[in-house]
Structure 1
C-alpha cells in the first residue's frame, strides 16, 4: 500500500530534500532528505514497512527507528490532509 497525494498537492525536489505545496491553501511543508526519500518510496507504491526497510539500509539507521519515523511521517501527512483517503 503506497501513498497518493490528493489533487492540488504539488511536490518539488530541492537541494535539501523536497517541498510539498497545498495549492488550495498555499501552505507548504519542507521535507529533509530522509523524509523526501520516504515520500518517493511510498508514492512509488512501497508499503510503510518496505519504505522503512529501504531507508534503514540507505541511511544506516535502526529498522525499528526507521519504521517509527515513516509511520510518523505518514500520520503527519494525513493529519495535514495532503494524502488521498
Structure 2
C-alpha cells in the first residue's frame, strides 16, 4: 500500500521547532506534526510501509513495537480522516 498527500496539501519543515507542518490549501488550514509524526509521515510518503515506520520508531525512541504500531495506525487514521493523505 502506498501513501501520498492529497494534491492540495503542502508539507514543509517548521522553522521554530522540529516537526512538519501540512497546509491544506483548499481549506486554508494548517496541521502541525511533532517530530515523531513527521518521521512517520516521511516514511510513509517515501514508499515505506506502516510496519517500517513502526520499526523506525522502535529503533529511534526505544518504544515497543506494539506501541509504535499503534502510534502509526492512529496517525495514519487521523491523516486519512482529515483528508491529508490518500492510500
Distance 1:9 1:16 in 2: 19
Runs (4+) of structure 1 exceeding 2 A deviation are none
Other-structure match for 1:24: 26
| Cα deviation, residue 84, structure 1 | 2.4
Unaligned 5+ runs, structure 1: none
Other-structure match for 2:74: 72
Other-structure match for 1:61: 63
**What is the TM-score with the length of structure 2 in the denominator?**
0.91
Unaligned 5+ runs, structure 2: none
**What is the TM-score with the length of structure 1 in the denominator?**
0.93
Q: What is the root-mean-square deviation in Å for CA atoms of aligned residues?
A: 1.0
